[in-house]
Amino acid sequence: MIRHLLHHEIDKQAWDARLSRCAVPWWYGRSWVLDAAAPGWEALVDEATGAQMALPWRKRFGIAYLHQPFLLQRIGVFGGDPQAFLAAVPKRFRYADIYLNAGEMGSSDHAVRISEQQNFELDLNAGMDALRKGYSENMRRNLKKAAGTGLTYEPNAEVEEVLAFLIGSEQFKRWGVDARRIECMERLLRGAQVRGEGFAVSIRAGSELVSCAYFVKAGGRLIFLKGLANEQGRALRAMPLLIDRVIEAHSGAPLILDFAGSNDEDLARFYRGFGAQRAVYLRSVINRLPPLVRNLKP
């Protein structure tokens, strides 16, 4: 039986224990990660099967709704059937736009819309020579160009420097990354660093930082949580070099490099350039708003 738990009713030790028994113990589902990304989150739990789903929620205009926290690709269902859990979402949540693990989805409530999202994954359990053979010709050309630019790879970058680089980037300004999402990112990266669950890497041109990234290593996955290059770094092909060096450092390990996206065709092409394969997860939009405001997102 699926139970709805308010935040204070969640036994987080039991939550993490159930997650650890899942076929893929997704880092996104750890209780501390959810606390950092979605304070006050609620949950759906089936203790008989061990399946569970996080309910990150907010309220706007008096309407309680479910949202997808910044940098978390999915919020469940961990170890269970997405359709059954969507049917159990409490009626008080009048709207939801959330991302779930893949699963069999048959007919459902007319208020629920399901669409596929794409992720890209690369199995690192091979030698580096074999992995590089899977690179596209364009990726090989980019790496050859980067090799002649004098770029320096730093495998143990400072997380605070990476945060400052991301927050001050022209991309964050262009994307409209607001203060709430920045604070979420800071809690996640610092939290992962303190717990030994992640690491920062960077690329410098001389003394200048031109590209950086933060990776999470947990649950058999190496997740490309966030990273970017500035204008100079893009011209020097710094990001291809950075990812190639991370792949090299973890080649032969029983890990999946999880690029955490993307539906953007340019990014998808970039990830495919490393030999990554497409994988599917689900977007679920639930709209229980009254007819007059149904087309307004909270």
pLDDT for res 46: 95
- Kindly calculate the radius of gyration of the chain based on its CA atoms and give it in whole angstroms: 20
pLDDT for res 104: 62
Q: What is the mean pLDDT of residues 45-51?
A: 94
Its sign, for the CA torsion 164, 161, 221, 131, is positive
Q: What is the pLDDT of residues 254-264, one digit of tens each?
A: 999 999 988 99
Instruction: Judge: domain 125-254, CATH 1.10.600.10.
Output: no
Q: What is the pLDDT of residues 62-105, one digit of tens each?
A: 899 999 999 999 999 999 888 899 999 999 999 999 999 987 66
For residue 192, give every residue at least 6 positions away whose Cβ sits within 8 Å of its Cβ, in sequence order, or none: 198, 214, 216, 225
Confidence at 292, pLDDT banded by 50, 70, 90:
low
From first CA to last CA, the distance across the chain in angstroms is 30
Spell out the domain ranges in the chain. Answer: 2-116+281-293, 125-254
Question: Phi and psi of 42, rounded to 5°?
Answer: -110, -175
